[in-house]
Structure 1
């Protein structure tokens, strides 16, 4: 029934005498085996049957060229560099040249530009995932420089840690990587976190990144292709080789191979043989095709979906086949590879893909020229992700007002009218709350080193700490031994910057001036800590509750190194050494307060440094201290580096048991409830309220403007000031300030990137 020709040729209708038409027989039949629609669906009414009869009697009138069939679009394989339209109104960016022509062709008015405050907030959240600070907002808006936007983009992209902290969320979703979840407890899944984070820190070219994922040079990136080994029996479509087929095609080609892993796809041209051909590249054993979980008797042969570029040697060893696939995937003539990733980057910054959905790259783009230009430019720039982000962010298209009002009718061809407003991700929202309230945690879960080790970082001679413990026998502590280590020191001037790095074999809890600050149970992952807001003038005390978790006597030690800069310009170094004291009488802390300690304090013991401890000091602690000494602040812990939580799940962070390239954009009931009632948010707002009151005192207007600048990158309006003044009163209290912060953070203006 797809076309008029097909209907006539089928013999289902009789154009000479409509009553003899088989089509009328089936829609009027009472036979359940013949009746259409089937008996489980509503029958056609007499009026509807009459319309069909009249249609046949009139000779099947049919709009020329119309078909009920799904219209398929076959995207080009090879790259193409389109000719750029002429420059209009001094807009030289190639993206603007293409879009200006597009808007003109479609009769769409060019969107207006956004102001500096909106641009600052948008580009900061898009490129590093953080809100601009109050200081940044004031300085950027008042800066008269005509190049300040380009300079800001460059500053954000050169912030290696901020960039990596933010974009690891995107790649964790796309590569199905996480720090906890299904498979980790049973050993059926491996992280690629350290390799991935290092790749982002160094801006590894995307083609190299893809090759190292598809054909891992070592175990660091192996977890991606090894997928998840599910417990118990699984369907044929969930085996490790089939997961490989699905992951590689979805991550790098925007092809959803899940349907084709069960049967020939109903929605595009990919077949069961295509899915198993990719799977056989990975498999060590012979694979039998299964259709809808039933064996077909046919054996899969390792093969690539685009033989025009080359083919896999099915007889080669597995490692060779993977190398061949990696080379074919990143082949210079495989335009689909570059188009897929630039389409994803466009979506991240502009709110909607050029091809949409992102994993349906068989779909026709709304602008082939734009997609092809971005892909060609990406390749020309050495597969540099930052170069494409820079190109988009510098365009006036990106710097235009969001299209927040136009509605596209369902089924109509999409017409670009400007960037789409985007919701903050779970990680961006939580980071923003932590920024506003100063309540970020002190440690993170991801096994990564947040910084690039410089060529001289490992040669620093400034490391003065030693590994210490309480009573021990040549570095060996008794099983289940717990000691409290103490260091007291004087601070003669306010601390303006600096931090510390600490680790302990096996576990520790650090208290500064009797308040809990940090803990750790993996000595190979030393924790960096911001100390400035935990210290005070005069005497300060560090307490470390150190635990040897082994049941048997074994080596145990704690290492601490801190560098602080004081307001008077002086430096203060603190390290674990023989000046520390210990007691075996550990207290039971309550409400994150250490409490009083009974017993005598004895001199701590320096213990021999194990080779594995020295490696942790040299590869993590030494570079971290070198950066602190260089004046670099320890960056705030980011939600992207934490294990998933109930709050993040309700805000849309996926479990990452499947690849996710687009998170849901609609507000759920669960999310609305959590935003209103979640205890972590309430605690964060309370802590932030206390800080604001301490800083501003009774300067109510200053406090209000501080909230608005930090949250929205703008000052409060006159009306907003009046509302807030009435709510806060002349002497703001914690509860009222907490409510004021919550109210601002629930505004669409805060939750959306516009």
Structure 2
């Protein structure tokens, strides 16, 4: 049994070691033969994608591969966690986690800029996650704030979270229970849960915490946040019945309602983030783990139930305890996970037992988000690089831009990163789309032009440069030999340029470029 109190220490790597020990014990029990450690290039690309949302620049690849320090991986992780790219990427991740509705409802995107800016400010300040959750759950709503679509208010708040959920208690109950408790309680909205112990009455007792919110005189032009919330004991009627139910926590305890106008959501926020809450720390730790392995220890991540047990219960307990002990510092937990040998295994399968992904015998191959695909294309090609100084999601609000086209094309509401599936339209866009045509053009692409026209470089040098800027690794000897022969066969300078363009195109369309591995 893991002694969590003695094992968890900040920035010592002891948590990483305990992660590895518990995973190793499970692998031995299940007969899993683990894959070897990843190469430096493989690790660099993976962790940079996971922490900043895009592949590393060529200069960083060359520097890291040349670094002989035994601690260079740990040092890289620290640099990435301190970078602006971490803030932008995790803002995107948590925006999609908290507001999944925006992927399928274009009308809701006008609500996003302020919420996204608020999230970014919290990640910049490394706000403890329990405090971030409390702020969302209990943010004051009775503030008149009218803005035009896309315009930010002066004081950033997460009020848009409630507008996107349409102020409906049932939507807010379903969203907050999934995001912060890992519970799909909405399955009991219309009837008792068919596979778990949740009852319909429990769903509406939880939803009642949001029953006192109302919107007054909606404005048809402005994005209106004219919201009002009354205090005191809230009640809600269960649809299609005559039953009124009081707000009660999911553990069956009824709040002690104070005199005055204390918002019910404040009571709920305190219960959810309390040290003894049975769900919050585990759900958060499980969610963070899933970001790096494509699946949770409890999987799906928002389905904590008696019928869906954890694959590694001791590991989940350890991570949850560490998160509480470190005052919900997400960077601490992320640092320990990516410094573990479990995370640093190669994704190449070396034994058939490694195909059982729930035992982490090798690093699973994962799909990329729409933002990551676009950011990788910009990083690799230099095309439209000037637009990336602003978050691609905000840019996507405008019509007919490469950013908006890419985001809409590759956006998915699937939670399964381990089974990425490209559509025919996605494949055609990458193979024949305007973006790809321009990105591999001598006239349009900065990177392509710089590599092809770099003075004094050999064919092998150019081949290596194309591999470094796309796949973040040098080519193998066999790849250099084959490609050297292909490019050398060109009879004219124009044919040679076309051959380089074909190489660049092939690398950008390869699964190695389009997946995290």
TM range (shorter): 0.7 to 0.9
Deviation by residue 1:53-87 (Cα, 9 ceiling, x = unmatched): xxxxxxxxxxxxxxxxxxxxxxxxxx994997xxx
Contact 2:35–2:351 (Cα < 8 Å) also in 1: no
Measured in 1, the distance between the counterparts of 2:455 and 2:185 equals 57
Measured in 1, the distance between the counterparts of 2:90 and 2:190 equals 33
Counterpart residue number, 1:259: 187
CA drift of 1:330 comes to 0.3
Counterpart residue number, 1:349: 292
Counterpart residue number, 2:309: 364
CA drift of 1:434 comes to 0.3
* Structure with larger Rg: 1
Q: 1:420 to 1:189 in 2, by over 3 A?
A: closer
Q: 1:146 to 1:215 in 2, by over 3 A?
A: same
Unmatched segments (≥5 aa) in structure 1: 1-78, 85-89, 230-238, 445-635, 655-659
Partner SS, residue 241 of structure 2: strand
Measured in 1, the distance between the counterparts of 2:387 and 2:125 equals 23
Superposed counterparts of 1:264-663, under 5 Å: 264-284=192-212, 287-290=236-239, 295-307=240-252, 310-313=253-256, 319-362=262-305, 363-402=308-347, 404=349, 414-443=358-387, 636-643=389-396, 645-654=404-413, 662=416
CA drift of 1:348 comes to 1.2
Q: 1:192 to 1:162 in 2, by over 3 A?
A: same
Measured in 2, the distance between the counterparts of 1:91 and 1:719 equals 41
Contact 1:690–1:734 (Cα < 8 Å) also in 2: no
Q: Considering fraction of residues, name the structure with more strand.
A: 1
CA drift of 1:101 comes to 1.7
Matched, 1:109 2:53: no
Measured in 2, the distance between the counterparts of 1:409 and 1:268 equals 31
Counterpart residue number, 2:423: 668
CA drift of 1:189 comes to 8.0
Deviation by residue 1:498-527 (Cα, 9 ceiling, x = unmatched): xxxxxxxxxxxxxxxxxxxxxxxxxxxxxx
Task: Please give the TM-score of this superposition, normalised by the length of structure 2.
Answer: 0.80
Superposed counterparts of 1:70-81, under 5 Å: 81=4
Which of 138, 153, 157 pairs up with 1:220? Answer: 157
Counterpart residue number, 1:197: 120
Contact 1:404–1:421 (Cα < 8 Å) also in 2: no
Matched, 1:140 2:64: yes
Contact 1:342–1:378 (Cα < 8 Å) also in 2: yes
Contact 2:342–2:360 (Cα < 8 Å) also in 1: no
CA drift of 1:335 comes to 3.7
Matched, 1:211 2:146: no
Q: 1:381 to 1:693 in 2, by over 3 A?
A: same
Partner SS, residue 258 of structure 1: helix
Task: Please give the TM-score of this superposition, normalised by the length of structure 1.
Answer: 0.56
Unmatched segments (≥5 aa) in structure 2: 8-13, 142-155, 214-234, 398-403
Contact 2:255–2:267 (Cα < 8 Å) also in 1: yes
Counterpart residue number, 1:713: 472
Structure number with greater CO (CA < 8 Å, separation at least 6) is 2
Q: 1:202 to 1:120 in 2, by over 3 A?
A: same
Contact 1:685–1:738 (Cα < 8 Å) also in 2: yes
Contact 1:358–1:661 (Cα < 8 Å) also in 2: no
CA drift of 1:351 comes to 2.2
Measured in 2, the distance between the counterparts of 1:153 and 1:135 equals 17
Deviation by residue 1:525-576 (Cα, 9 ceiling, x = unmatched): xxxxxxxxxxxxxxxxxxxxxxxxxxxxxxxxxxxxxxxxxxxxxxxxxxxx
Q: Considering fraction of residues, name the structure with more helix.
A: 2
Partner SS, residue 93 of structure 1: helix
Partner SS, residue 665 of structure 1: coil
Counterpart residue number, 2:220: none
Q: 1:343 to 1:179 in 2, by over 3 A?
A: closer
Measured in 2, the distance between the counterparts of 1:360 and 1:92 equals 26
Measured in 1, the distance between the counterparts of 2:119 and 2:289 equals 21
CA drift of 1:429 comes to 1.6
Measured in 2, the distance between the counterparts of 1:248 and 1:319 equals 20
Contact 1:128–1:156 (Cα < 8 Å) also in 2: yes
CA drift of 1:430 comes to 1.2
Contact 1:225–1:244 (Cα < 8 Å) also in 2: yes
Superposed counterparts of 1:166-181, under 5 Å: 166-176=89-99, 181=105
Measured in 1, the distance between the counterparts of 2:296 and 2:313 equals 12
Counterpart residue number, 1:155: 79
More off after superposition, 640-649 vs 370-379:
640-649
CA drift of 1:640 comes to 4.5
Deviation by residue 1:159-206 (Cα, 9 ceiling, x = unmatched): 1x1101111221111111769954448x88884111101111111110
Contact 1:393–1:399 (Cα < 8 Å) also in 2: yes
Measured in 2, the distance between the counterparts of 1:318 and 1:97 equals 50
CA drift of 1:331 comes to 0.5
